[in-house]
Amino acid sequence: MVLKYYFDLMSQPSRALYIFLKLTKIPFESCPVALRKGKKVPFIHDDNFKLAESIAIARYLTRAYPVNDHWYPKDSQRQAKMDEFLEWQHLNLRAFCTLYFQIKWLQPMITGKQPTPEQLNKSEDDMVNTLNRFVEYFLKDGPFINGAAKISFSDILAACEIEQLRIASYEPREDRPILKNWIENVRNDCNPYYDEAHKLVNNLVDRAKKDVQAKL
């Protein structure tokens, strides 16, 4: 039975796994789930085997399906450095970018209430610091994360997280040439699936820009 993939393209890790599945040509059945209904996405059903958590899923897929080594290297030390990023990002890139997106865009949209300037400033500081640390620690040595010559699952995961900021009218590429260059490398390697997975994000970014222009 074909792998079932449950996802919502509004969710950053859902987009990352969607792009990964497409690029690695792993056959799967698309099972869209509305995130707003409170279901935790992404998850998979591989026959009777159920699994959540995007990083656990990506690692499992590289063992269960024929996937090129660069996506998640088998070499022990290179794999360990990839794991170091994947474990680091939870309480850094993921935590602070998501929090900024929620405080600045999602919560006002749901509740109609704006954050206080203190909340927004604190969240923006944390987000900016984590983006700068990401560039400094993980992007400084080459075209992809950890200076790798080829793209890995980590690159897709990080790029999808960072793209989410644009919905909240924050452009992560601005004044960050290394990050801009890297995210374009990721996009180019992942297209047409990168743009396909980000269609909803890009629509929301366009709408936010029009709202700002309408107010001018």
Question: What's the Cα-to-Cα distance from 79 to each of 59, 83, 129, 153, rounded to whole Å?
Answer: 11, 6, 26, 11
> 41 near 6, Cβ under 8 Å?
yes
Q: Quick check: 211 binds its own copies (CB under 8 A)?
A: no
Structure tokens at 10: 């509004």
Q: Is there binding between residue 126 and its own copies (CB under 8 A)?
A: no
For the bound state, the minimum distance from the C-beta of residue 76 to its own copies, rounded and expressed in Å, comes to: 5
CB of 14 to its own copies, least distance (A): 15
Separation CA 86–CA 66 (nearest Å): 21
CB-hemisphere CA count at 13 Å for 13?
A: 22
Among 2, 30, 68, 80, binds its own copies (CB under 8 A): 80
Residues 94-113 that bind its own copies (CB under 8 A): 94-95
Report how far apart, in Å, the C-alpha atoms of 163 and of each of 12, 117, 187, 194, 202 are.
Answer: 8, 23, 11, 11, 9
Which of 37, 77, 118, 213 contacts its own copies by CB under 8 A? Answer: 77
**Complex with its own copies: residue 64 or 212, whichever CB lies closer:** 64
Chain positions contacting its own copies, by CB under 8 A: 49, 51-57, 59-60, 63-64, 76-77, 79-81, 83-84, 86-88, 90-91, 94-95
